Structure 1
């Protein structure tokens, strides 16, 4: 029985050894006959892209800023003569508007009328004194000739000092009359511009004093637009030698355009916002615009040379563009951007024609070969697809 068990175990061992040798032989055979498969990648990927050729040209950069209309200056109402107010114009109240040289209020003229009469009488007196002096000089010179013949007439005999004094008296009284007339004219207070009243503190019967303020007005022709410029727009404005300015105001009667100019240069930048304040004056041409009105200012700078205008889709996600060589190979292009305008990118410092990929290219890399399609080819392809 023991012999049978030993024979059975030996048989099982022989089977295991034979199986292992068989597996080893098969494995060795497979390794010796294995040939690695060759990767069949096919032809290189040549993606189609939309491409445009751009020629550098001069470019007029136009940008807009917004602001509010303000009066350039307010003028204090100060009478030039003193007296009691006899009349006030209905336009001389807050919010009222007035014409140039329109009397805003009048001062009692009686005292100034008397001053004119007095100055006139004084002028007549000194004029008569001068005439009398000349008659006396003529008589004195005639008496000298009778006694001394053709001998030179002394100055005292010719009464030259008295003559000069009489002439001076006439000039003084003439100036006094002119001043009296001017004071009389100033009893009717007016201003030499079309304006609007900000404040008024005057009424009939009130006594007003020379040089005291009784209100504030502003010149409607001297209006400005106060705007804020970000650093980029401030740079463009400073670079322009003669920018063209248009002030645009929306009114109930429609949009109004006015020719303007930079009134005052920027002097400082706000610390918190980093914006600069600029003032643009404009010619109203007879229109009336109130302070506080919203306005837009369109500014066109001097021509920028060597500029191309590229569709915004040309800007890749990574922040650069692709330019295409004559061999249809793309290269990274980091443009010097002058401005973004709606769906366009304004690029400067382009000195030669350039081919630019104007569509997004996912997975593109430096040196990739592409299949450019111009706008005409793209349009033709789309038309063909529509026909199908």
Structure 2
């Protein structure tokens, strides 16, 4: 029994001694040295901030509206006998151009009767004056030293004849005016927004013929916050004058594949805050939007939704950065003198597609990052590889 136990235990003892020797040798072996990995600098594109005199600009949007838009109605009644080709939706017309012709036969007859009435009244006046002259001569022959009464020398009859002539001439003027009003025209250059009548239709003074608008200028209502109003140095209730013009405005929108721009000017601001939006509206105008004011042949058409960039007329000192340097609303990445990233918070005065104007947080000459930075960490080492001129 004991011999059998010894035969089994002997191999186990040998294995245990061997395993212990291996553990002792492993513990005595020196541990490998750990190499510290150095953080590699990230390559960034930067541009120098510059301090300069600027005109602050604000960005907003609005819809183009006509400065003058009216419902076209006739002043006399009649049947439409002809309509100009320019009185069609979208067509343009000039000042004094006849857009609609009404049947004028009745008005020509009325004009002829009025002319006859004037002629008759003139004859009656001549007769009354002649009779009054004869009566006065007769009176002076009989009573040379006594002044006659007005009735004795037919003065009331002459006054009545003069009044009748004035009335006849007024009726003649009305008849001429009514005849002229059968030709419906407008005193301004414009476009037709809608047409509501056709040839052969009988219209009265209350009939709407269509809707037209003037094209001498258009306007855009621009919503502004109180801060934007201050940036433009505009008071509430502002009205532009020759001595104090409003800020210039650049209006832009994309038509097809091309972006067009038009130049305008703020001419007034509302004197009250909108109750629903709590905004103040400024009105910008563009002259001759379908002619000289057009952009590359594209008119500033009524109904377009445009982006507006208004610029203050007052000059001030500020720091200008490329638009790409601004992160979110108020963050800028700066490369310091040790080529490390410094994340700054800035006070932004205004921003546009090309630049950002800041009041504090950045000094002129500092390097601001304009390239994309993934996982930016304050103090991380960077490698400025390109120096771009500020836009």
Q: Distance in 1 between the 2:92 and 2:183 partners?
A: 17
Aligned CA distance change for structure 1 residues 94 and 157 (closer, same or farther; 3 Å):
same
1:119 counterpart residue number: 114
Contact 1:64–1:296, Cα closer than 8 Å, also in 2 = yes
Contact 1:314–1:356, Cα closer than 8 Å, also in 2 = no
Unaligned residue ranges in structure 1 (runs of 5+): 1-51, 323-332, 349-353, 364-377, 383-388
State the 1:124 CA deviation: 0.6
Q: Distance in 2 between the 1:59 and 1:74 partners?
A: 38
State the 1:206 CA deviation: 1.3
Structural RMSD (CA): 4.2
Aligned CA distance change for structure 1 residues 110 and 340 (closer, same or farther; 3 Å):
closer
Contact 2:59–2:310, Cα closer than 8 Å, also in 1 = yes
Aligned CA distance change for structure 1 residues 256 and 160 (closer, same or farther; 3 Å):
farther
Name which of 178, 182, 185 aligns with 1:187.
182
2:103 counterpart residue number: 108
Aligned CA distance change for structure 1 residues 334 and 247 (closer, same or farther; 3 Å):
closer
2:137 counterpart residue number: 142
State the 1:276 CA deviation: 4.8
1:8 counterpart residue number: none
Please give the residue correspondences for 1:140-219 in structure 2 after superposition, counting only pairs within 5 Å: 140-219=135-214
Contact 2:121–2:168, Cα closer than 8 Å, also in 1 = yes
State the 1:74 CA deviation: 2.9
Aligned CA distance change for structure 1 residues 344 and 80 (closer, same or farther; 3 Å):
closer
2:288 counterpart residue number: 284
Aligned CA distance change for structure 1 residues 129 and 246 (closer, same or farther; 3 Å):
farther
Rg bigger for which structure?
Answer: 1
Unaligned residue ranges in structure 2 (runs of 5+): 1-47, 236-243, 292-298, 335-343, 370-376
State the 1:235 CA deviation: 3.4
Instruction: Please state if 1:265 is matched with 2:276.
Output: no
Instruction: Please state if 1:295 is matched with 2:306.
Output: yes
Partner SS for 2:153: coil
Instruction: Please state if 1:61 is matched with 2:51.
Output: no
Contact 2:215–2:289, Cα closer than 8 Å, also in 1 = no
TM-score (norm 2): 0.63
Q: Cα deviation per residue 1:100-138 (whole Å; 9 max; x = unaligned)? A: 221111111110000000000100111111111111111
Partner SS for 2:55: strand
Q: Distance in 1 between the 2:89 and 2:136 partners?
A: 70
TM-score (norm 1): 0.64
Q: Cα deviation per residue 1:345-381 (whole Å; 9 max; x = unaligned)? A: 4328xxxxx8886569967xxxxxxxxxxxxxx9xxx
1:369 counterpart residue number: none
Q: Distance in 2 between the 1:125 and 1:222 partners?
A: 50
State the 1:194 CA deviation: 1.9
Partner SS for 1:239: coil
Q: Distance in 2 between the 1:81 and 1:289 partners?
A: 35
Q: Distance in 1 between the 2:351 and 2:158 partners?
A: 83
Contact 1:263–1:281, Cα closer than 8 Å, also in 2 = no
Q: Cα deviation per residue 1:203-248 (whole Å; 9 max; x = unaligned)? A: 2221111222232122222422243435532332453663233445
Q: Distance in 2 between the 1:221 and 1:103 partners?
A: 19
